[in-house]
Amino acid sequence: MGKNLLIVESPAKAKTIEKFLGSDFVVKSCYGHIRDLQKDDMGVDVDADFTPHYIIPDDKLKVVNELKKVAKSSQEVWLASDEDREGESISWHLCEVLNLDPKTTNRIVFHEITKPAIQKAVQNPRKLDMNLVDAQQARRVVDRIVGFEISPVLWRKIGRMGNLSAGRVQSVAVKLIAEREREINDFKAEISYSVKARFAAKDINKKDVSFEADGSKLDSHETAEKFLNSCIGATYKVNDIIVKPGKRTPAAPFTTSTLQQEASRKLGYSVSRTMQLAQRLYENGYITYMRTDSVNLSNTAIEAIKQEINTAYGSNYYQFRKFKNKNESAQEAHEAIRPTYMENHTITESEGKKLYELIWKRTIASQMSDAVTEKTTAKIGISTNREELTASGEVIKFDGFLKVYLEGTDDEDEQEEGRLPLLAVGQSVDFIEMNAVEKFSRPNARYTEASLVKKLEELGIGRPSTYAPTISTIEKRNYVEKKDKEGTPREVKTLKLKDDKVTKKTITENFGSEKSKLFPTDLGLVVTDFLNKHFENVMDYGFTASIENEFDKIADGKENWKKMVKGFYKPFHSEVVETMENAERATGERFLGEDPESRKPVIARMGRFGAMVQIGSTDEDEKPQFASLRSGQSIETITLEQALDLFKLPFTLGNYDDGEEVSVGIGRFGPYVKHGEVYISLPKGKDPLEVDMAFVKQLIEEKAQADAPIATYQGKPVTKGKGRFGPFIKWDDLYINIPRAYNFDKLTQKDCEELIEKKIEKEANRFIQQWPAEKITIENGRWGPFVRFNKKMLKLGKPGKSKYTQEEAAAISLDEVKEIITLQVPDAFTKKIKKASPKKAAPKKAAKK
């Protein structure tokens, strides 16, 4: 017999592990899950005790066949997928596909990819934990049921067939973002005045210093002015000094969610980017397993950390700590995320270097001494009134863990306290100036990806492995968009007391600017409201969290997974049936007022192509006018005036120098200028209603310069540009992406010829047969020939014949292809007959008086 076969999820992991094992093992990758629930239907037989129907996806057939082949010639098969429920599930699916007995197959787990950890795991194999597998199956089945049963309801009651979906975790995540947005829209800012004075003094070392002191918050402009006037001619002295010793304690080592939050705050990474880099660091043996909700550190790790702290900083910087998980369901047996070798302060690889250093610092800091501080508060008396000003500061007496790491915060207004000079009671201080500035209270900030993860974790919704895909899904579905919000100019009143004179000034400041925040789209708001109304349980935070607890019970062997799913399904399915039969169609319609010209109603609502406004209603004989909302506008906040402005577009500016007409409008991709048949997008932030001919001429000239040919091929021009997929050149209706090997800014004639010839050759090999009139092609794909019908990619196969060779595909007739298409899209060639809408009787006109 041959060697032992060890199967892991990823090629990178396989490569790293292989060098730690002896010649007895060959290590192969299964590339993640090798089976999935079948796609054509729910994939769960609800009438047969919720039995899942698994299939091997087409893109995994090659991998599975290779694993089967190697497994046959192997002495024994070992499974080494990740140690969480997802990993256990992958191992079970491998057993099913490779005909392995889960009760006898060796399963090994480790939370770090190091030689000692791998060798220890091989010496201590275990068998599959079917409780973990069942917990994963329960999650998968419940999520499939929710998505598969609610999504058709959304298609029917909201529209946008196939583009809408619901999910047990994704829908409540969108709800959180929608609720926060509405809190912000409904928020009424309160005005107050913040008083701050600046003083100069000599400290006890006779050194000139300056410092600031705060006064009480004042509730109006009049009160603030009165207070500053009362301080004219005053003298100031230190009435009292309070010194309080304090300390700061380091944060626990990283869990998945705290790593996502801190990487967002300190490095600006998205949740998905953080997980991609962490996965790579883990697979290359730099850090421990990156999907964990535990803050534990192993004894071996603590000893290594202690040695590193004593060597690098001194023994007075070390303090043993054991952190307790706030999350009661956290898997205590797992470790927090930490470096595998604490002596490696950094890594040489550029990808993931910053994230690795963040993890190293957090881990080291978690076992370091407290920072010893001294907080000083000085009360400054005013001779002309009874009020006192307060100056405070913090002195760090011993830096402790702060020598290495300080945790970030999501509070944008939180600031570190400054230092305060060493003052003495009774000491006079010299007044420099006093300011009273108008302040506006702010609502809670919109969620970032990281703060949304934090909130979901607090509510007990989702688990470490679900946060990144959940956020990706709600953004992909266009329920939520991540964007920067520009601040709104606001006039701020200020008062200043200086040289015994109070002066008034109004300044303009930008308020409400935000970066990388999550905004609900109009579609997200409409879907959320519909689900809230008709699927109360699914959208209830407590109910969603309780389901997570049910999964935890299954993982602990305390509950049967099919019984749990059955308890969920019965009331849920009743809600689905009731909603499908009786719920009204949802559009998020909002009445804005009347059009002053036509006296017809103006309505904002969701339409087939997105958020829109209309003048008139469908009940009238005359067809309503429609206009799409612009970027940054919402059904919930648009005003009547803003809505009416949308109907001013498109408008004609006049004729350009060449005689072609120039018009300004707004389309699917935003505001544009149209010159003849050429469309030019307006720059971001440019109001189309403010565009004039001088500005348009500049745009047209820039466009002409950008579109000027850079080369020719076969007598036809070659132009270049940048699109959503990066830089490209265009020749004879062919768009050709530019590989990194070419310098896009300095493309030569030779470069263009090479790129075009390669593209022509590729396109020639792409098509096997084409029927342009029918919008049908047979093309070469990665896994063999396939059919493209309109924009759909379909399998080229019939029952009893799974695949066609390239030669067979070249000989197939159009009728046979249509038959194959019909098997997969039954109504593909059925003509859709539009029903004529019944004519409404004209309303009777009132008799003239």
Contacts of 89 (CB under 8 A, 6+ apart): 33, 132, 133, 136, 137, 140
Which residues form the catalytic set? 289
Structure tokens at 742: 């070419």
C-alpha to C-alpha distance for 663 and 651, rounded to whole angstroms: 6
C-alpha to C-alpha distance for 274 and 823, rounded to whole angstroms: 42
Contact 630, 646 (CB under 8 A): yes
6: phi then psi, degrees, rounded to nearest 5: -110, 125
In the chain, the amino acid numbered 41 is D
Contacts of 802 (CB under 8 A, 6+ apart): none
User: At 495, is the secondary structure helix, strand, or coil?
Assistant: strand
Residue of 456, 447, 473, 584 lying closest to 529 (CA atoms) = 584
Q: Across 134-280, where does the E strand assignment appear?
A: 191-202, 208-214, 236-248
In a 13 Å sphere around the CA of 411, the CA atoms on its Cβ side amount to 5
Contact 406, 381 (CB under 8 A): no
User: Ramachandran region of residue 261, left (φ > 0), alpha (ψ -120 to 50) or beta?
Assistant: alpha
Report the DSSP pairing between strands 625-628 and 651-655: unpaired
Contacts of 326 (CB under 8 A, 6+ apart): none
Contacts of 277 (CB under 8 A, 6+ apart): 269, 351, 352, 355
Residues 275, 280, 281, 286, CA torsion sign: positive
Contact 355, 175 (CB under 8 A): no
Structure tokens at 116: 């000692």
Strand order through the sheet with 4-8: 25-29, 4-8, 77-79, 106-107
Helix ranges (DSSP H) in 244-295? 256-267, 271-283
C-alpha to C-alpha distance for 468 and 456, rounded to whole angstroms: 12
In the chain, the amino acid numbered 819 is E
Contact 572, 543 (CB under 8 A): no
C-alpha to C-alpha distance for 342 and 321, rounded to whole angstroms: 17
Burial class of residue 203, CB neighbours in 10 A (0-12, 13-18, 19+): middle
Which residue has tokens 């060796």? 106
Structure tokens at 72: 């046959």
Q: Across 408-499, where does the E strand assignment appear?
A: 428-440, 480-485, 488-498
Contacts of 590 (CB under 8 A, 6+ apart): 603, 604, 605, 635, 636
